[in-house]
Amino acid sequence: MLEITRIRAEKEILIEGLKKRGVDFSTQLNEITALDESWRAKKTEMESVQSESNKISKEIGKLMGAGKKDEANTAKEKTAQLKKQEQTLKEEVAQLEDKIQELLYEVPNVPKDIVPAGKSEDDNVTVEEVGQKVKFTGTPLPHWELAKKYDIIDFELGVKVTGTGFPFYKGKGAKLQRALINFFLDESENAGYTEYIPPLLVNEDSGIGTGQLPDKEGQMYHATKDNLFLIPTSEVPLTNIYRDVILPKEDFSIKMTGYTPNFRREAGSYGSDVRGLNRLHQFDKVELVRIEHPDHSEKALEEMVNHVKGLLEKLGLHYRILRLCGGDLGFTSAITYDFEVFSAAQEKWLEVSSVSLFETFQANRLKLRFRNENKKTQLCHTLNGSALALPRVLAALLENYQTPEGIEIPKVLEKYLNFDIIN
């Protein structure tokens, strides 16, 4: 959520920056500043009434002590009127606060200067491409056919038990999935991240804190009776560990990692992009979350990008990095780098990670602050990234490592398995 003080000071700059998203937010920001002016005026009036009421209240005792009963009664009547006026003003101030908050929730983060303007993924910029397409002697099979051939993932059984987008992993497929999770977690630990196993359901305050709620797209599964939400990513519970927290000093760098299943409704998804593992409603992911001093967050973003690069290179996958344009940027993000691996059989790129810097946008919602050298509170910066999301990584591994003899296992995963080929 954008800071109201920032909107007051930089409204025109923010309006211009938000245009990178392909949308004009001038109406919303103008309304916010107008309401803010009204709020400040009403609050000043309320405080003035409170001050006058307190002053008269102190005089009543003196008047009674001096035997000036009539004047004391007049003062009491005046105080009663002021209390009534104060209550009306309190209600008006609260209503204005609620309206400002509602509007602030509708405004996304402002893209950083380096983020290209654009309306869709067609306007994203390729930053780097590493590796080459795998050359096959015959026609490679897509991962859903490989899964059936080697009996390692059962999509039809998932449909029977739950529905589309909830596959069963079995045998060597389940073991390979577990090996990838362990590999990603071990790499995170080696990079200095503390591992957590967080809850899979969160309350509404947690969803609001990281920007998933108010849920504009209806992508979260909602347990309505308890008003709890299944997590779309472990970013939500991990970041909310520090909701309503003031870190005691400015010398901090918090690095967290966690493996969880993730749940997304993906409403409106259809076509070839959702076949097999390409788009699931339940999927496994290892997440990285960082809380940083504003001066260090860009360096942290670079470190996270390099971490994901290292994972893909160790797996021997052909990948590319995209800097997302404003129109393809997530609601809470100031800048995002997407990682895509090349699917040899499908002959297309599959997203496997997004690494994002949110600057103060999440921290403002979370009330996540630190005390600077002057002992004043200041908002932290937050970051997160997938390291990695498993379904499309697994799809790429199955397709790119297929041979006439079976599916070979990348060397880096062999220590987690008791086999080196799926056949």
Summarize the annotated binding site for ATP as residue ranges. Answer: 264-266, 351-354
What is the number of other CB atoms lying within 10 angstroms of the CB of residue 253? 13
Binding-site residues for L-serine, please? Answer: 233, 264, 287, 384
Burial class (CB in 10 A: 0-12, 13-18, 19+), 183: buried
Task: Identify whether the C-beta of residue 283 lies closer than 8 Å to the C-beta of residue 390.
Answer: yes
End-to-end CA gap in the chain: 51
Q: Smallest Cα–Cα separation from 383: which of 328, 329, 305, 322?
A: 305
* CA separation for the pair 175, 193 (Å, rounded): 24
* CA separation for the pair 211, 209 (Å, rounded): 6
Output the CA torsion sign for 290, 291, 296, 297.
positive
The one-letter amino acid code at 266 reads E
Task: Identify whether the C-beta of residue 402 lies closer than 8 Å to the C-beta of residue 141.
Answer: yes
Binding-site residues, please? Answer: 233, 264-266, 287, 351-354, 384
**Token pair 């305050």 in the structure block, residue:** 205
Q: Smallest Cα–Cα separation from 12: which of 32, 28, 29?
A: 29
